[in-house]
Amino acid sequence: MDAFDGLMHGLGVVLTFQNLTFAFVGCLVGMMVGVLPGVGQSAGMAILIPITYSIGPTGAIIMLASIFYGAYYGGRITSILLNVPGESESVVTTFDGYPLARQGKAGTALGISAIASFVGGVFATFVLLVTAIPLSRLALALGPPEYFALLLLSLSLVAGLLGKSVVKGLIMVVLGLLLSQIGMDPALGTARLTMGQTWLLDGIPLLALIMGFFGVSDTLMNVFERRSAAREEAAPVDRLLPTRQDMRESATPMARGAVIGFLLGMLPGMAAAVSTFASYIVEKRVSRTPEKFGHGAIPGIAGPETANNAFANASFLPLITLGIPGSASLAILFGAFMIHGIAPGPAMFRDYPDVAWGLIASMIVGNVILLTLSLPLSRVWIYLLRVPATVLGAIIVTVSMIGMYSLSRNPTDLAMLAAFTLFGAGLKVAHYPLPPTVLAFILGPLIEASLRQSLLMSGGDGMIFFTRPISATLLGMALLLVLLTAASGLRGIRVRRETLEA
């Protein structure tokens, strides 16, 4: 099936009443998650996975993916109207969006950002559509040593890019891989690292790890947060459609933002905030009126918002073509695929065409839904911010616990969720990045399997990874990346020390 046939097939899958409803609900929930500060995409998706059990795999994946990219849409609304970014990638939107709103142009800012988000999302989806099949074929041609090296490179990217210390990142990767070792050995059926406990034979439930590390621990740690007594008043919203002049000013920043977002989105471990900041810096550099930036410059909203949504949709590329989730949220989606019995990766287009093509087509349909919803519902999202954090916290905690229980009906899994909540909170306090652990936990079995297959092929000789050009190059890149990140960290420490001594 080529890209065009695939898209048509996907549209046929999505444009049914049932799947459209799932996409619609997912977009709504995603925007809500994006609007609410303190409720991250990961938490939002993790909490809702149990609700998708009774839905078929295609509908479930469409709904969860809609939450993922819907959150990127939602963050901009409160950034513009209240100067409150729902997610880290929306911080840039406050720079010019809020000043525009204070000047009485809140509607223009909302309109431009919605159109920019739509352009970014649709652009990335079309490039994804065109590149997915060739990349999948390439991935299917990789042997176990190359796949092992590719997975290791992805983990080094995640460990290096997420967090300030590469050593901490690598510790978290190793922790995730060790956790994935607990349970029965897949090849021989031997119990590993279980300490004789039968309840550990099935391994650690992915949802306990994800919900404990993200949804529940984030909520519980709210007790340490400082809460603002003052309530910011939302700026009034005037006309929502931008003028022709506004659109002319936004066209080139949108084009640049789309390319920046897509290129950065393909890299596993890259944070979406990097794409928005990069786009903002580029726009300021190329602008003839850089002094306007920070005071309500239209390109300062158009570029980053396009980059943001192009990033979101491009980040699906490594997941669906190589089976590598590039972020914590996509790791959760990866987990959802597995819960529904689907292995994400290059074979998905052959084995589960409805899910693979339906997912891609749903991004186009989802972006249309989001564009349609985001403008008229702006005021609704502002009201949503008035739901007390105490009520929201109780909902997150109870729904997470119910979700965990409904998966296995085993109270031990609930205790594990509680244990990971405590562990995750401790790690957050010590500034250890949690996404690398989740990614390593998910990729652990794949890494071990490809390592084993490679060693079986070579009769136990580890040189197989260095004698094959692709795996040697990928491993070299992984090593170089770790060394570069470590060197940049050391340089930072030296600069800080010199500044202090000066």
Partner 1 sequence: MLVWLALAGLTLWLAARLSGQAQFGPSPAFFARYLSFALLALAGIRAIGLAVAAVAASGGEAMRRRQWQSTVGELDPPADEADTVLRRPGLRFAVLVAALFAYAFLLEILGFILATAALGFITMTMLGRRPFRASIECAVGSVLLWYGFTNLLGVPLPGSSIGILRALGL
Q: Please give the residue ranges that form the binding site for partner 1 (CB under 8 A).
A: 50-51, 53-54, 167-168, 170-171, 174-175, 177-178, 181, 185, 187-188, 190, 192-193, 195, 216, 219-230, 388-391, 393-395, 397-399, 401-402, 405-406, 409, 411-412, 414-415, 417-418, 421-422, 425, 448, 451-452, 455-456, 460, 493, 497, 500-501
Could you count the other beta carbons within 10 Å of the beta carbon of residue 439?
Answer: 30
d(CA 462, CA 285): 48
d(CA 245, CA 339): 49
Q: How many CA atoms lie within 13 A of 276 on its CB side?
A: 28
d(CA 259, CA 311): 9
Residue 216 or 385 with smaller CB distance to partner 1: 216
d(CA 335, CA 329): 10
Residue 251 or 415 with smaller CB distance to partner 1: 415
Q: CB of residue 33 vs partner 1: minimum separation in angstroms?
A: 19
Tokens 């790890």, residue located: 209
Residue 44 or 318 with smaller CB distance to partner 1: 44
Tokens 């909520």, residue located: 219
Could you count the other beta carbons within 10 Å of the beta carbon of residue 375?
Answer: 17
Residue 391 burial (C-beta neighbours within 10 Å; 0-12, 13-18, 19+):
exposed
Q: CB of residue 26 vs partner 1: minimum separation in angstroms?
A: 16
User: What type of residue sits at position 441?
Assistant: F
Backbone dihedral region for residue 296 (phi beyond 0: left; psi -120 to 50: alpha; all else: beta): left
Q: CB of residue 106 vs partner 1: minimum separation in angstroms?
A: 24
Residue 227 or 244 with smaller CB distance to partner 1: 227
Q: CB of residue 234 vs partner 1: minimum separation in angstroms?
A: 18
List all residues 6 or more positions away from 491 whose beta carbon is below 8 Å from its beta carbon. Answer: none
Q: CB of residue 150 vs partner 1: minimum separation in angstroms?
A: 17
Residue 30 or 393 with smaller CB distance to partner 1: 393
Q: CB of residue 289 vs partner 1: minimum separation in angstroms?
A: 35
Q: CB of residue 397 vs partner 1: minimum separation in angstroms?
A: 5
Residue 193 or 286 with smaller CB distance to partner 1: 193
Query: DSSP per residue over 125-169, as a string?
Result: HHHHHHHHHHHHHHHHH--HHHHHHHHHHHHHHHHHHSSS-HHHH
d(CA 464, CA 89): 41
Q: CB of residue 28 vs partner 1: minimum separation in angstroms?
A: 17
d(CA 18, CA 57): 12
Residue 241 or 415 with smaller CB distance to partner 1: 415
Q: How far is CA 457 from the centre of its chain?
A: 35
Residue 213 or 357 with smaller CB distance to partner 1: 213
Residue 195 or 383 with smaller CB distance to partner 1: 195
Q: CB of residue 115 vs partner 1: minimum separation in angstroms?
A: 36
